[in-house]
Amino acid sequence: MREGTDEFGTPRTSDGGKVVGTIEVSLVKMGEIEDGDTDHITTDVQGQKCALAYECTAPESVSGKDNLPLLNAVLKNPVCKLYRFPTSDNKWMRIREQMSESILSFHIPKELISLHIKEDLCRNQELKDLGDLSPHWDNLRKNVLTHCDQMVTMYQDILTELSKETGSSFKSSSSKGEKSLEFVPINLHLQRMQVHSPHLKDALYDVITVGAPAAHFQGFKNGGLRKLLHRFETERRNTGYQFIYYSPENTAKAKEVLSNINQLQPLIATHADLLLNSASQHSADSLKSSLKLLSEKTELFVHAFKDQLVRSALLALYTARPGGILKKPPSPKDSTEETCPQDEPPQLRRQDSIPHHSDYDEEEWDRVWANVGKSLNCIIATVDKLIERDSHNEEGTGGSSSNDGDAAPSLEDSITSHPKEDWYGQLHPLILTLKECMGEVVSRAKQSLTFVLLQELAYSLPQCLMLTLRRDIVFSQALAGLVCGFIIKLHTSLHDPHFLQQLHTVGLLVQYEGLLSTYSDEIGMLEDMAVGISDLRKVAFKITEAKSSDDLPVLTGRREHYVVEVKLPATLFESLPLQIKEGQLLHVYPVLFNVGINEQQTLAERFGDVSLQESINQENFELVQEYYSIFMEKMPPDYISHFQEQNDLKGLLDNLHQNIQAKKRKNVEIMWLAATICRKLNGIRFTCCKSAKDRTSMSVTLEQCSILRDEHQLHKDFFIRALDCMRSRQTQGALSESDDPETGCLTDNKPTSRHFYPVALLLVSSHLLVVWLILSLALLLAKYQ
């Protein structure tokens, strides 16, 4: 065993092979500890002290400046410790370390599952409303509905089981294989370090620790989502004829249009009724305002149906009706095919032509949805005339004594004696026409696009639905952590105007540090995690004013787009920028950088494949670059100039890119650079391994000590000692008989739970395994004699 430190800076051997200090993982970092009495513990190494001064489970009594009352909506059971370390100028800095559980571990999954059930029930009803289909398609529909009903029942059962959970507010690692807790993240905790330096401004550093979002119950025998989705799509594209192939982009587009229909139709109807109400009150200003809102929503409605996919889906559904031609069903055109010349046949996946029927008018759809726009134009023109006449009437009445009176007869001819009835009477039939046209468009579009979704479900039904379930599980775990991190970051930075401006103009960077190996089951975990974090791009946040005592976030949306409503007290809400108060959606940019650091990663690098890790890091580096470009473009120039003076972010990005390209083994420099970039860009930091225990705790403590050294002038001779102090089991109050808490002296006992035997050797021969067992037994007997 070589002397020095491991990847996380933990001392291996020195001074005759003895380990200086303790390197056991602190259970505070694991998030699985029991409340204990207050301990006063000091670590004395060669006459110099770095101390844990105080430990408690009621942090409010320790620091009156904490903002925990504002975070009670998400945090629970806080545990804190106070440290004291020397600085480079021989002063003392005080460090307050805090760990808190999050009740969102269960709240967000329950909200999400409820949305899934609602969405799936709506989809099943739409499939039933497709109308008459030919026997082939009707049998497919019945089969799909049977399996989808079973999936809804499963989700309902899971929601019922989650509602019964009343114990711990987090899911421990021992429960990661329980089916009823699949949607719940593992060990979701806040790790907070508050630093008080003698000459520097107090600082706060937060890291959210959570187990890697993955479907542990389903297992990883066939890989994770990244591989499974690619394989599924390849097989679906190349399968024989049973259905019509729609690309994932077209399927997602169909879901988006359906969602827009369901949202916009009731909004348009509401604004149309408000317009009539304004007309009945004969209020010109109110009429203008209602017309503006109606026009905006109707234009969005009309624009949603300009996609070629809708027209192609209508023709596909026509061929699936009884009596339709089924031999050559239509294949959807991609968005790029809209620019193809009309006289050239489109490129099809499996069919060589789109059937044309003498009784099918392909231009009928254009006329139907165009009628909505024409109806709106008639309403706009009528409202303009009514307001103009009313204005002339007022002018004529006010200036009748000075005018010639020649225009009076014409005004009397053009306006009735009952103006309120006239406005309402003229607009009411136009509104009815708009609603009728819109209803016809909605009916046809819903059926055609639901038929598109039927094609996705019709292929390999069990596999398709199981992939959906797996993706929902992984996304639920990732979303719970994201919402927790967003709320904590928001409350921490509410009084930072630059952060609030960045929030609504650029968005928020969310950086995940992965410590999974690319070996065995952890490959599947990493594949799940990569897809789950990527899916977080579908999430947006909206901040609203809390109207009641219920401060928990509310989730709305569908699988392709979710909005998380975060509530703030009135006093805090009023201090926000106008754009945020008006309901602007706040977007997030999730990125993942993974570096395996355990023994399994050593095997993967020597005998396996690390291409998955390399591709993930490269893809996400490009996302960070994209975010940085948007940040530099949209933030104010005066802030950018000051920001560039304080931070060499371009140099950090170049350094990160070089390290990713270097393909160095266990290159933890990637993690440190990515974390630094995230902090300088006001992002949210996550650290993940399989269970958010050993590797995660080692990484967090190393990051904390590195921050103390680089940002707060921790004495260079005390870096390793501070690291030992924050990691040691003695910080839990578990002193052995040979330790003297009064003097603060600790013996140089070797840790009993760590035997650094190379795993690779044990895999070579069964004889070495026997030798290892004998040596381990001998060490244990020697210790307890």
Question: Which residues are marked as active site?
Answer: 689
418: number of Cβ within 10 Å = 11
Q: How much is the CA Rg of the chain, to the nearest whole Å?
A: 32
User: Could you tell me which of 87, 84, 11, 88 has the C-alpha nearest to residue 43?
Assistant: 84
Question: Do the beta carbons of residue 272 and residue 294 sit within 8 Å?
Answer: yes
- Taking the C-alpha atoms of residue 121 and residue 415, their distance in angstroms, rounded to an integer, is 52
For 510, the token pair is: 């969310």
Read off the tokens for 494: 């509410």
**What Å distances lie between residue 382 and 422, 423, 428, 432, 722, CA to CA?**
11, 9, 11, 14, 77
Sequence length of the chain is 785
Determine the Cα–Cα distance for residues 216 and 379; give it in Å rounded to an integer.
57
What are the CB-based long-range contacts (under 8 Å, 24+) for 613-616?
Answer: 613/518, 613/526, 614/660, 614/663, 616/526, 616/530, 616/592
CA 337 to chain CA mean position, Å: 32
d(CA 485, CA 268): 36
Q: Do strands 684-688 and 508-514 pair parallel, antiparallel, or not at all (unpaired)?
A: parallel
In terms of Cβ atoms closer than 10 Å to its own Cβ (0-12, 13-18, 19+), residue 616 is buried
Contact 43/56 with Cβ under 8 angstroms? no
If one counts every other C-beta atom within 10 angstroms of the C-beta of residue 736, the result is: 11
Q: Please check whether residue 9 is in contact with residue 702, taking contact to mean a CB–CB distance below 8 angstroms.
A: yes
At residue 513, the 3 state secondary structure works out as strand
CA atoms within 13 A on the CB side of 411: 16
Contact assessment for residue 313 and residue 451, using Cβ atoms and an 8 Å cutoff: yes
CB 452 within 8 A of CB 251: yes
Q: Single out the residue of 619, 724, 614 nearest to residue 662, CA to CA.
A: 614
DSSP letters, 274-341, are: HHHHHHHTT-HHHHHHHHHHHHHHHHHHHHTT-SHHHHHHHHHHHHHSTTS--SS---PPPGGGGGS-
| Distance (Å, whole) CA 341 – CA 245 | 23
CA 602, distance to chain mean position in Å, is 31
Look up residue 85 and give its two tokens.
């370390």
- Sign, CA dihedral 530-532-538-544, equals negative
Which residue in this structure is represented by tokens 């009477």? 425
Tokens of 542: 């909206």
- CA–CA dist 687, 206 (Å, integer): 11
By three-state DSSP, how is residue 576 classified? coil
- Hey, CA dihedral for 214, 219, 220, 222, is it positive or negative? negative
| 534-to-590, 592, 663, 688 alpha-carbon distances in Å | 7, 8, 23, 15
d(CA 525, CA 212): 7
Q: Tokens in use for 457?
A: 């479900």
Angle at the Cα of 565 (from 561 to 571), degrees rounded to 5?
155
C-alpha 84 chain-centroid distance: 37
